[in-house]
Amino acid sequence: MSDEFKNMDVRRIMELLPHRYPFLLVDKVIDCTPGESITAVKNVTFNEPYFNGHFPGKPIMPGVLIIESMAQAAGLLSYATVGATKIRPLYYLVGVDSARFRRTVTPGDQMVLKVVIDREKRGIWKYKCAAYVDDELAVSANIMCAPGGELE
């Protein structure tokens, strides 16, 4: 395994993903085996803009943003798998199946995102994803991404 994709910090992540604040939802990669799996981290802080309204007095990270965090980790895994190319495809989240929300994610939590490639066919990627807090499963889902343009 190449160490290029292991222990990625946020600067390296921003070189690979088009997302920026407040929508960059992966803080670091702690392990990556291209073609197989990735483990990444999202530190959830009270400063996240969505906590003002979701919900006042009882802040909870929206489930759709947890799914997005897993999708961003999946994007990093796909980039690590395909490798550097002159033109990078921009992938969109096009499907979410079997999503299960088992516990809330709140300020101060550290989400550990685990993504495994299920399969890739004709540029469409399918992944099995899970988000953990304190080794407890918070969210699981199968997601699908498809190309929708190019990044420069």
Q: Give me the mean pLDDT over the 17-25 stretch.
A: 94
Structure confidence at residue 149 (pLDDT): 72
**If you count them, how many residues does the chain have?**
152
- Answer yes or no: 54 catalytic: yes
Sheet holding 37-43, edge to edge: 28-33, 37-43, 110-121, 124-133, 136-151, 88-101
User: What are the DSSP calls for 11-74, one per residue?
Assistant: HHHHHH----TTS----EEEEEETTTEEEEEEE--TT-GGGGTS-TTS----HHHHHHHHHHHH
Q: What is the mean pLDDT of the chain?
A: 92
pTM over 0.95: no
Q: Which residues contact 151 (CB under 8 A, 6 or more apart)?
A: 18, 87, 88, 89, 90
Q: Tens digits of per-residue pLDDT, 96-139?
A: 999 999 999 999 999 999 999 999 998 899 999 999 999 999 99
Give the tokens for residue 136. 């407890």
- Domains belonging to the chain, first-starting first, are 3-151 (3.10.129.10)
User: Which of 145, 111, 141 is closest to 128 using CA atoms?
Assistant: 141
The number of CA neighbours under 13 Å toward the Cβ of 53 is: 2
Which residue in the list 6, 54, 88, 103 is annotated as catalytic?
54
